[in-house]
Amino acid sequence: MKKIGFAFIALIVAFMFTASANAADTATAKFWKEKFVGGRPGAVGNVLMAVGDGFVFQNAVLTNVAGPYGASNSDCSGCIAKYVTTYSNGQLTINPNGPCGKFKGIIPAATNISLHDQDGNLLKFILLIPEKGVTATWINYGDNYKLHTDDYGAYVYQMGSEFDSIILTCEPPAPVFY
Q: Would you say 81 and 66 are in contact if contact means Cβ atoms under 8 Å apart?
A: no
**How confident is the model over 62-80, as pLDDT tens digits?**
999 998 888 877 778 888 9
pLDDT for 167: 58
**How confident is the model over 132-151, as pLDDT tens digits?**
777 888 888 888 889 999 99
**How confident is the model over 1-23, as pLDDT tens digits?**
544 443 433 333 333 333 333 33
Q: Taking the mean position of all CA atoms in its chain, how far away is CA 50?
A: 2
Percent of the chain with pLDDT over 70: 72
Whether omega for the bond prior to residue 68 falls within 30 degrees of 0, making it cis, is yes
pTM of the model: 0.73
